[in-house]
Amino acid sequence: MGAVETGNEPVRLTAWVSGRVQGVGFRWWTRCRALEFGLVGSAENLPDGRVEVIAEGRRNHCEQLLATLRSGASPGSVDQVVEHWSAARGGLTGFDEK
């Protein structure tokens, strides 16, 4: 029998965001939202036009960020968000735009 998830355990969310998300302030906007949720990590432009978002913190806060990325409230236009969950690795401080 596994432990009951409370939403407080630390996790790593990696999200690849597709659409018109480069050159529109999307990384800055993502950084602001992540900091509001108390997360650390980064948002980085990828050569194929996507933005990779890495966020670590409480699972429920990462879920809030993911919902925000999908909300349609961001600058530009999000077509798709692909998510990957893993254990928190640590070693991150702040939230960087790369």
Which residues participate in catalysis according to the annotation? 27, 45
Residue of 50, 47, 53, 51 whose CA lies nearest to 95:
53
Both tokens assigned to 89: 């690795």
Q: Letter for the amino acid at 39?
A: L
Cross-strand partners of 56: 12, 40
